[in-house]
Amino acid sequence: MKLKTIEVEGKQYAEVQDGKPVYTHDDGQTVAFDAPGTVATISRLNGEAKTNRERAEAAEGKLKGFEGIDDPAAALKALSTIKSFDDKKLMDAGEVDKIKAEAIKAVEDKYAPMVKDNETLKGQLNSHLIGGAFSSSKFIAEKFAAEGPAGVEIARALFGNSLKVEEGKVVGYDANGGKIYSRARPGELATADEAIELLVESYPHKNHILKSSGANGTGAGHGAGQGGKNSVSRTSFDGMKPDQQSAFIREGGTVTD
C-alpha cells in the first residue's frame, strides 16, 4: 500500500479525499485513510486486550485452588452430595450421637481385652503382695498358735480383706474403713506386719489363735505370774491402758521390740 499522489505544476502532492490522504492498495483499489479513526480503534483494542489479560490472570489465580483435581465432574458431584445433607435432620434424628457412640464402642471393643488382661495381672500382683505380707510376717511366725503355713493361712483368711495394695505398698484398714497408722512412727502408715498385729489385737477371738504366752496383748490375764516368761510386743504394750501396763510389769511381763 502506497500513498496516492497527484502532480500540480510539476510537483507531487498527496491526493486528499474528504480531508483524508488516499492510499492505493496492492490490488489497485484506492481508499482514503482515516488516521484519527484508526488511532481510536487501536486505543480501543489495546484497552480490550488489557481487560482480557486481567480476566485471564484472575481466572488462573482462582484455578490454582483446584490444583490436583483430575476429575472436575466427580468433584462437582461430591459437592452436590454434601450439599444435599440436612444437618438439622441429622441432629433431630440423633444420627450424630449414634455415630459418636458407635465410634466409642469400636474403640472400647478393641481395647477391652487389654484392659481385662491388665486388671487380671493387677489382681494377681496385689494378691501376691498381700500373700507375701502374711507369709513373711514376724508377728504371725512368733505369736500364732498354729505354726508355719497353717498360721499364715488362718491369718490371711481372717484379715486378708483388711489389707490393700496402694501405690505398690500394702496398706492396712481397720473395721471402720480407716487406714491403720503406726504406733511406733506416729503420723506414718503402719507397715504390713504392724497392721497385721494391730488387726489381730482388735480381733475379739484373738485368744483362740495366739499362743497362750502373751496372747491377750491388752492385759496381763494370760500367762501372767510365770516368772517373767509372759511377753508382748512394743506395739501391743503401747496399746494397753496405763493400769494394764502397770499390772503387766508387776506380774513379770516383758516387752519385746
Q: Please name which of 162, 155, 117 lies closest in space to residue 138, comparing C-alpha atoms.
A: 155
Contact 155, 196 (CB under 8 A): yes
Residue 248 covered by a domain: yes
Contact 188, 181 (CB under 8 A): yes
d(CA 235, CA 139) in angstroms, rounded, equals 11
- Lowest mean per-residue pLDDT among 80-84, 138-142, 174-178: 80-84
Average pLDDT over residues 115-126: 70
Average pLDDT over residues 36-43: 80
Are residues 237 and 199 located together in one domain of the fold?
no
Residue 186 covered by a domain: yes
Are residues 108 and 197 located together in one domain of the fold?
yes
Q: DSSP characters for 18-62? A: TTEEEEE-TTS-EEE--HHHHHHHHHHHHHHHHHHHHHHHHHHHH
Residue 161 covered by a domain: yes
> Does residue 45 have a pLDDT over 50?
yes
> Does residue 133 have a pLDDT over 60?
yes
Residues spanned by the domain of 194: 95-209
Per the prediction, the chain carries an average pLDDT of 78
Are residues 99 and 162 located together in one domain of the fold?
yes
> Does residue 226 have a pLDDT over 60?
no
Are residues 137 and 200 located together in one domain of the fold?
yes
Question: pLDDT grade, residue 99 (50/70/90)?
Answer: confident
Q: Residue 195 has what pLDDT?
A: 93
Which one has a higher pLDDT value, 32 or 21?
Answer: 21
**Structural domain tally of the chain?**
3
d(CA 230, CA 242) in angstroms, rounded, equals 18
pLDDT tens string 233-242: 777 777 777 7
The share of the chain scoring above pLDDT 70, in percent, equals 80
- Lowest mean per-residue pLDDT among 73-87, 100-114, 220-234: 220-234
Average pLDDT over residues 139-160: 90
pLDDT tens string 172-198: 999 899 999 998 888 899 999 999 999
d(CA 207, CA 213) in angstroms, rounded, equals 10
Are residues 197 and 218 located together in one domain of the fold?
no
Are residues 227 and 161 located together in one domain of the fold?
no
Q: How many CB atoms lie within 10 A of CB 231?
A: 19
d(CA 248, CA 224) in angstroms, rounded, equals 7
Residue 87 covered by a domain: no
Are residues 204 and 126 located together in one domain of the fold?
yes
Q: Residue 172 has what pLDDT?
A: 93
> Does residue 215 have a pLDDT over 60?
no
Which one has a higher pLDDT value, 161 or 74?
Answer: 161
Are residues 197 and 249 located together in one domain of the fold?
no
> Does residue 110 have a pLDDT over 60?
yes
Are residues 105 and 118 located together in one domain of the fold?
yes
Are residues 150 and 187 located together in one domain of the fold?
yes
Here the cell at position 235 is 506395739
Are residues 36 and 107 located together in one domain of the fold?
no
Question: pLDDT grade, residue 217 (50/70/90)?
Answer: very low
Are residues 200 and 113 located together in one domain of the fold?
yes
